[in-house]
Amino acid sequence: MSGLIDFLHMGGYAGYVWSAYGIALVVLLWNLVVPVLNQRETERLISNQLSDDEQ
């Protein structure tokens, strides 16, 4: 348990190290989520075109 606390403590630099890693995580995940959402939106756009054409 103390090993984990030491690890999280990062030799007194916890705030710096973990905020840097946290920001990295957010930016990297954001860059994965945006293209997934865009892909869905584009697929929906094409499907809507198809149903418009049918009418």
Partner 1 sequence: MWTWFHKLGSPRYFYSFASTLIPWLGWTCLGLMLAGLYGGLVVAPPDYQQGDSYRIIFIHVPSAWMSLFVYVVMAVSGAVGLVWRMKLADVMVSSCAPIGAAFTLLALLTGSIWGKPMWGTWWVWDARLTSELILLFLYLGIIALRSAIDDPRTAARACAILALVGIVNIPIIHYSVEWWNTLHQPATVSKLDGPSMHRSMLIPLLVMAVAFKFYFAVTLMMRARTEVLYRERKSSWARDMMIRR
Find the shortest distance in angstroms from Cβ 52 to partner 1: 12
First to last CA, the chain: 66
- Does the footprint of partner 1 cover residue 47 (CB under 8 A)? yes
3-state secondary structure at position 12 = helix
Lookup result for tokens 């957010």:
26
The token pair at 29 is 């995940």
| Binding of residue 19 to partner 1 (CB under 8 A) | yes
Note the residues at the interface with partner 1 (CB under 8 A). 7, 10-13, 16-17, 19-21, 23-24, 27-28, 30-32, 34-36, 38-39, 42-43, 45-47, 49-50
